[in-house]
Chains A and B, each alone.
Chain A
Amino acid sequence: MGLAIGLDTAVKALRAHQLAVDVAAHNIANAHSPGFSRQRVLLRPIGLDGSDHWTRDAFLGRPGYGVDASDVRRVRDLFLDFQLRQTAGSREQYAALAKALRTAELAFDDPSDLGLSSVLASFWNAWHDVVNTPESNAARTALVHSGETLAARIRRAWNDLDALRKDLNQQLVLAAQDINAKAEEIARLNFQIKQVELNGDSANDLRDRRDLLLDELAAIAQISYAEQGDSTVVVYLGNHELVVGTDVRTVQAVPDMSNPGMTKLVFAADGEVVATASGKLRGLLDARDQALPDLMTKLDTLANALRTEINALHQSGFGLDGSTGLDFFAGTGAQDIAVNTALLSDPRKVAASATCAAGDSAIALQIANLQRTAVASLGNVSFDDYYGSLVTVLGADTARAEGLAESSDRLVSHLDAMRQSVAGVNIDEEVTNLVASQRAYEAAARVITAIDEMLDVLINRTGVTGR
């Protein structure tokens, strides 16, 4: 083995440790960059021809020919990525649902002194006041206003829920744009990574960026993905291709004919509906198409039962002016329930009496007692109980979604900590590496000095006989 080879070995070591210092610097610089995976120089002893020393020379009992440090790799656990993305998908799903349901709860504002339940109670009480003094115009005026307050409150709750649905629909459109933007960036990265890695290099930072995008995409919708031999990833949204190599199948929001006023997400190319079992998109869809319509239907049922039950009794009664056959409530549902304008402008028309006598209030008493009567169209429960269960079922659904979001969040935090434990940067560790590389660099330099001295001995001090 010649001394020149020793010099070469030392130069390789200098290069390798310089690279290690660069990598440590890069790691330290990115200690807090989201999605960054720490990088490691792959150090490998090599034989004379650059092949792996372990394979041949070591067997032959020969020393190797230095270190090879051409490859810098990311340290990352791909299985943790997979788990984390799945969990983040369900976290975002339940978080979106919980957020919508919490907003829906505000439409009812119960239990509180200002909630719909207390407005409903005031309404029944106003009927009792008319029972007590049927000839009093004050009690009748109070009643029709209490009725209008109740109707307005029901309308407002319905409108709040309707506005919330439209807002969710808007978020859905934004989510589609988000998906497209991320898919396009992944396709671009696919191209770049493929180019870089064709030359045998590792596109570490580009891969980090692509992984971050996959994380974000998994939070929006259910995705699956697989890395191909050419370093590109194929991404599926539901069961449909989203990114293939450098191509993107974009998603589009189009009017949904079967869901008036709402949009559905389809793939622009073939019109197939975007299907997702998790992610924010799932939460938005569940809230928009199930939870909220369900609540609005219940509110309609309540409004319709109030209207028909009260009107049936009211029509059979007589007002102070002898009027009869009038409706108390007008409208077709929760959206437009209102007190009959004839009654609002002349409360004497409130048909409290069963006999036309001014002091009779048998009808008003029957209406007041509807409060505690089981109503067939409400499933044989009273108005109060029907509304009470609407609020508590909503509360329970909200609490459930919040609980699921929270437990997924804990799991996400845990998995993320595990991922960070593997892929994250530890400054102390990097500093240690830095010091080690610095020392190794110094030692390699010293090797060069040593060989230089040996060459000096060989060249300048040997073979001088006869000089």
Chain B
Amino acid sequence: MRVTESMRLANHQRYLNEIAGKLDDTQRQLASGRKIERASDDPTAAAVALHYRRDIAYEAQMRRNIESGIAFMNVTEAALEGATETLQRIRELTVQASNDTLSPAERQTIAREVDQLIRHLAQIANTQFGDAYIFSGTATDTPAYSITGDPPTAITYQGDSGLRVRQISREAQVPVNLVGSQVFGTTFDDLIALRDALASGALGPAIEPSLSAIDASLDRVLSARAELGARINRFEAALQQSETTDLNLQQLRSDVEDVDLAQAIVRLSSEEVALQAALGAIGRASSLTLLDYLR
């Protein structure tokens, strides 16, 4: 092929452009740390990367859902622990009161303590988490129990039986709340009856039935705690699962999107060598002409 000046010039320009373009690509990748900056850089990889990114964001939200659910349930658990202690204290007092040797004054004292404990239990039943009354079902803007009279003559459930359901994994929608009316049942009515009986000086046999009512209340609270414990375990398992999934997804996303630094640096230096070689060749080629050899 006949080689001409403009051809040589065009070739040099093209080689230099090509090498400089590759060098620029590698430098940009090294600076950004990313292989794909636009979908057109690698459409297939971009499709996969978008998929991973979406799943990563979704899993992160699932963990948010789980963690705030666990927080909600931990508050519920603490409330139920308080309710258990309160009921146990009331049970002790009731056992004492069923002893006929107690004086009327002592019974009054017990009645007053039971009254205080009832109020405390009502407070527990009206526990809030954030803005929500946790035992009100979904009617979380109203206290679970309304208290009538002082001393209370009636403590009435005013929530609903709704469940607060949330997504904790792709497949699972799980409630986090326990409905107050199911946890406490007739507890408050039973306890008010007990207090009134104690205040009126009733003797052992009249108080006995209350004892079994208290045991039933304790049973309800304990089974609620067992249910709650199982749910918390489930949430924690889902959390772990999501964390594992996240690690895998991050790895996969990075494989698709991120630059392999070692590889990129090796490529950069080989491209620099190529550029130097091309510049050297051009410099030498253009300095050679016939004119150098003519007189």
A: residues with CB less than 8 A from B are 31-32, 34, 36, 38, 101-102, 105-106, 108, 110-112, 117-118, 121-122, 124-125, 128-129, 131-136, 320, 353, 355, 357-362, 365, 368-369, 371-372, 384, 388-389, 391-392, 394-396, 398-399, 402, 413, 416-418, 420-428, 431-432, 435
Contact = CB atoms under 8 A, between A and B. Distances in A.
Nearest to A387: B50
Nearest to A106: B38
Contacts of B5: 31-32, 424-427
A110 B50 contact: yes
17 contacts: A32-B9, A101-B40, A102-B40, A110-B46, A111-B49, A121-B54, A132-B69, A135-B132, A353-B138, A358-B138, A365-B165, A384-B54, A391-B39, A417-B7, A420-B6, A421-B1, A425-B5
B10 A132 contact: no
B140 A357 contact: yes
B53 A128 contact: no
B139 A131 contact: no
A467 B64 CA distance: 134
Contacts of A424: 4-7
A359 B166 CA distance: 12
Contact of B136 (A117, A359, A369, A388): A359
A132 B162 contact: no
Nearest to A98: B40
Which residue of A111, A402, A417, A426 has the most chain B CB atoms within 10 A of its CB atom?
Answer: A111
Contact of B64 (A112, A125, A389): A125
Counting chain B residues whose Cβ lies within 8 A of the other chain, the interface size class is: 35 or more
Interface in B192-211: none
Contacts of B130: 133, 135-136
Contacts of B140: 134-135, 357-359
Interface in B34-63: 36-44, 46-47, 49-51, 53-54, 57-58, 60-61
A368 B40 contact: no
Contacts of A420: 4, 6-7, 10
Contacts of A118: 53, 57
A369 B167 contact: yes
A359 B140 CA distance: 5
B122 to A, nearest CB: 20
Nearest to A368: B167
Contacts of B266: none
A362 to B, nearest CB: 7
A417 B50 CA distance: 43
Contact of B38 (A102, A136, A320, A355): A102
A133 B60 CA distance: 17
The 4 closest A-B pairs by CB, nearest first: A395-B39, A424-B4, A359-B140, A398-B40
A361 B138 CA distance: 8
B146 interface: no
A358 B130 CA distance: 13
Contacts of B167: 128, 131, 365, 368-369
A68 B213 CA distance: 134
Contacts of A102: 38, 40
Given A110-B46, A431-B291, A398 B162 contact: no
B44 to A, nearest CB: 8
B129 to A, nearest CB: 9
Contacts of A432: 290
A105 B3 contact: no
Contacts of A395: 38-41, 43, 46-47
Nearest to B13: A413
Contacts of A416: 7, 10
Contacts of B37: 112
Contacts of B4: 31, 38, 420-421, 423-426
Contact of B54 (A357, A358, A388): A388
A424 to B, nearest CB: 3
B74 interface: no
Nearest to B39: A395
A273 B37 CA distance: 40
B40 A399 contact: yes
B46 A111 contact: yes
Contacts of A112: 37
Contact of A132 (B54, B64, B173): B64
B40 A111 contact: no
Interface in B111-169: 130-132, 136-141, 160, 162, 164-167
Contacts of B39: 105, 108, 110-111, 391-392, 394-396, 398
Which residue of B4, B69, B137 has the most chain A CB atoms within 10 A of its CB atom?
Answer: B4
A417 B132 contact: no
Contacts of B165: 131, 361-362, 365
Given A360-B138, A424-B4, A365 B40 contact: no
Given A134-B140, A417-B7, 8 more contacts: A125-B64, A128-B65, A357-B139, A371-B58, A389-B47, A394-B39, A395-B47, A424-B6
B1 A111 contact: no
